[in-house]
Structure 1
């Protein structure tokens, strides 16, 4: 969704200030927030970057994300079994 452009002035040492409303919208108003800077076809793109804690990095590996997509496909296709309780769940595993 494009809005009216906002112009900011590049300060000394290349610093720019992102307007408060934009920082809040993208969660960049928190200490340590990061922005990815991308140069592409005569554009500079600023993309909010959310750091992943090291103990959760496994979830974002390509292998795990592929398994997540497969699980989503199985759920969408109805290839799931719903158990009403632990006993029913264990019985289903045994069968």
Structure 2
């Protein structure tokens, strides 16, 4: 797919909205990596958090993480050294 866009004064370009949305570049903190190769300029989307891991950074999930951190700091809960040890505790 090719899309032509104008380069404005000071080298600024605007990516079309559909492309920004497709590559999650409309999200806060999104960046674009610029790569020069073989006479081309390649733009590669770079996100502070990969889109497939964004669920872990929702406010709801992070609130749960803060609760868990507070419980650990208070010495609550049980620590298991392996998955097998945890499964054994369920018997």
Between the two structures, name the one with larger relative contact order (CA 8 Å, sep ≥ 6).
2
Please report the TM-score for the alignment, with normalisation by the length of structure 2.
0.53
Write the distance in 2 (CA, Å) between the matches of 1:48 and 1:8: 17
Equivalent of 2:44 in 44, 47, 56: 47
| Secondary structure of residue in 2 paired with 1:47 | strand
Q: What is residue 72 of structure 1 aligned with on the other side?
A: none
Whether the aligned pair in 1 keeps the contact of 2:23 and 2:45 (CA below 8 Å) is: yes
SS at match of 2:88: helix
Contact 2:29–2:47 under 8 Å retained in 1: no
Contact 2:34 2:42 in 1 (8 A): yes
1:37 CA drift (Å): 0.3
How many residue pairs are counted as aligned between the two chains? 56
For structure 1, list consecutive stretches of 5 or more residues without a partner in the other structure.
53-82, 90-95
**How large is the RMSD of aligned CA atoms in angstroms?**
2.3
Instruction: Structure 2 unaligned segments of length 5 or more: list them.
Output: 50-83
